[in-house]
Amino acid sequence: MEEILNKVTSNLNPLKRFIVGKAAAELSALSKPCYYPKTKKFPYEILHLLKVSEKDFKAFIKRNNKGTKAEKWLLPNDLGTFLLTFVMHLFLKNRDRSTYSAALVYFLIVQYSRLMNKQMKYCYEDTFKYTLDNMTKTHLFAREKTIPNSLFYLSTALQKSFTDDIKNWDKDGILAFMSEARSRISQSIKSFAASYYKNRKAGAAIKTQEEETDDESNVYQYKVLQRGQKAVDEVTKKITIYRSVDKKALEDAKRISKAKTSIATLISNEVANEKYFDNVKILLQLYVKGLTDIKMVCGNEYYSHVKKLMAIKRTTAQLYFKSQVNILLQEILKNLKLSEGYKRYTKQTQFIINSFLAFYITSIFRNSICSI
């Protein structure tokens, strides 16, 4: 272990951004039917960020598994599977529990994708949606409402059982972790696939909202929510790549949060920079993930929904809207050289500043999506 650790870069910030960004982006995308995350490139992207060669890391895998039960098993010798487990260990070793949790979520996403490609090589969206909505209530995907929620649930359960093993690099514990994680996802996917093929054979499908009803308001709502995912990319680019400062969103966010004009102007000008691209995109993806009705964006429920997201004090989710707002704010304040001043503010003033940023970003999204 020491040999490979000595070769790993000491600057883990780029890797942290990669892991958190990947986990958030893929969780958001998994809300779409028939979405299988791409898993071929990530091991090489991670090795590049660790500044470790593929040859050196594969040699480490071989040394680690030699003489153990893992030596002849495929899963613990798979580069991507082993590498993500090592990344979890690395962040736990550096006392970064949140990035460890994100890495575990991404580990499950990778296993999900590989097993779905194995069990369901061809996927039809209408049958997929019908099957997901009609699974028995005891099935993981039905009980947790969505596939992203199911993977979050599994990650929380696995953390309780295996965090110490991963932190201490207990080889038997790590092998048990890999086996249980893969097995639990496999069980859910196999039963889902069986129902999917049964439904496909019977010709079961879900009609789109336009096919189900002629009600114009429902058709409008369907179209707007469908545009939500695309709008995330558009708004992220508008803010960070094109460096646009939305004056209307700025005034609205100031009014709602009661933030002072001076700090609000500094933040809105600073966030208009491509270096915040990943932060803004993750924040918006988490915002969109919780939307169930167009009123939560374009109606009066917008204000109460964002306030509710910013009022969360305790959650089992490691990636959530309020925390990402604060992470983005801290980056902005750091670059503005205002971090020390922020620390001297009262808790109430700090919350006002966080709320301003939340309302500013989501107001830009709101102005974009509600104009169609």
Q: pLDDT tens for residues 297-350?
A: 888 889 999 999 998 766 544 467 899 999 999 999 999 999 999 999 999 999
Burial of 186 (0-12, 13-18, 19+ CB in 10 A): middle
Q: Is the pLDDT of residue 226 over 90?
A: no
Average pLDDT rounded to a whole number, residues 248-276: 94
Lowest mean pLDDT among 220-224, 233-237, 320-324, 360-364: 220-224
Question: CB-side exposure of 365: number of CA atoms within 13 Å?
Answer: 30
Residues 297 and 199 in one domain: no
Residues 61 and 185 in one domain: yes
Residues 172 and 190 in one domain: yes
Residues 199 and 220 in one domain: no
Q: What is the per-residue pLDDT for 314? A: 60
- What are the residues whose beta carbons fall under 8 Å from the beta carbon of 139, sequence distance 6 or more? 188, 191, 192
pLDDT digits (tens, 9 = 90+) for 107-134: 999 999 999 999 988 888 888 988 888 8
Point out the domain boundary residue: 183, 206, 229.
206
C-alpha–C-alpha distance, residues 283 and 331, integer Å: 14
Residues 108 and 157 in one domain: yes
Q: What is the per-residue pLDDT for 372? A: 44
Q: What is the per-residue pLDDT for 221? A: 45
Residues 349 and 239 in one domain: yes
Domain span at residue 69? 2-206
Look-up of token digits 């892991």: 19
Residues 79 and 182 in one domain: yes
Write the CA distances from 51 to 9, 107, 131, 301, 360, integer angstroms: 6, 20, 43, 47, 37
Residues 244 and 283 in one domain: yes
Show the DSSP H helices in 213-338 as ranges: 216-236, 247-257, 261-270, 277-289, 295-298, 301-311, 321-336
Point out the domain boundary residue: 206, 237, 254.
206
Number of compact structural domains in the chain:
2
Residues 132 and 19 in one domain: yes
Q: Is the pLDDT of residue 215 over 60?
A: no
- Please check whether residue 49 is in contact with residue 15, taking contact to mean a CB–CB distance below 8 angstroms: yes
Please count the other Cβ atoms lying within 10 Å of the Cβ belonging to residue 36: 16
**Residue 161 or residue 1, greater confidence:** 161
Q: Is the pLDDT of residue 371 over 70?
A: no
In a 3-state reduction of DSSP, which class is residue 37? coil
Q: Is the pLDDT of residue 250 over 60?
A: yes
Backbone angles phi, psi at 197, to 5 degrees: -65, -35
Tokens of 371: 């104009």
Q: pLDDT exceeding 70 applies to what percent of the chain?
A: 90
* CA 235 from centroid of its chain's CA atoms: 18
Residues 289 and 179 in one domain: no
Point out the domain boundary residue: 186, 206, 226.
206
Residues 36 and 155 in one domain: yes
Residues 223 and 168 in one domain: no
Q: Is the pLDDT of residue 14 over 50?
A: yes
Q: Is the pLDDT of residue 354 over 80?
A: yes
